[in-house]
Amino acid sequence: MSHADRLNARQTKQHVYWIERDSIGIALYDASKNEKQLFTSVSAVHQITLFYHKKALHFGVNASGDSTLASTTLMAEQSELPSQFHGYLVDKAISMGYETKPDMIKMAPYFDSKFEKGIKEGKTFANRGRISGRRRIVQHSF
């Protein structure tokens, strides 16, 4: 493709997003406008879908953010994390418990190392995307 073709095919208007002050900014970028009007707020109603990594819902809090500490179903709550990682949360809680006891502090690193093993497994699980077999590494030139 020649340089002229590339220039002609260039999209001059497109929506963009960015993150600022714990918010997502969405604007229309128009390369043909002057510097002050390069970005304009969206003038119509558009449906936006965000795809993101998130923290698991806390124990004692429901999906609406209300406390369930006094609820009768509290003890039956389960972490949103896949079940194979639940034990590692217990290991970390035990480790943090030992960290507050000066006479037992030597026990903390043992349980912390178990949690670190869980972190490693969790990263592998997240990277694999639940697909078996070898991972394909795509090369990029920068």
Partner 1 sequence: MKLQEMIEQVQKHHPDLGNVEIIKLLNQASDEFCSRTLVLDEATQFNTVANQRFYGLKDSILEIKSVDMKDEEGNVKSIKRLQGRPEYRDIT
Residues of the shown chain interacting with partner 1 in the complex, contacts defined by CB under 8 A: 14-27, 29, 35-36, 38-39, 41-60, 69, 74-83, 85-90, 92-94, 96-98, 107, 115, 118-119, 122-123, 125-126
Instruction: State in angstroms the smallest separation of the CB of 26 from partner 1.
Output: 6
- The CA-atom distances, in angstroms, between 112 and each of 14, 85, 88, 106 are 48, 14, 9, 11
Q: Give the nearest distance from C-beta 13 to partner 1 in angstroms.
A: 11
User: 105 with 99: CB under 8 angstroms?
Assistant: yes
- What residues have CB less than 8 Å from 24, skipping those under 6 apart? 17, 18, 50
Q: Name which of 78 and 141 has its Cβ closer to partner 1.
A: 78
* Contact between 99 and 111 (Cβ < 8 Å): no
Shortest distance in whole angstroms from residue 63 CB to partner 1 = 10
The residue with tokens 């869980």 is 118
Q: 136 by DSSP, 3-state: which?
A: coil
- Rounded to a whole number of angstroms, the minimum distance from the CB of residue 57 to partner 1 is 7
Q: Closer CB to partner 1, residue 2 or residue 127?
A: 127
14 or 132: CB nearest partner 1: 14
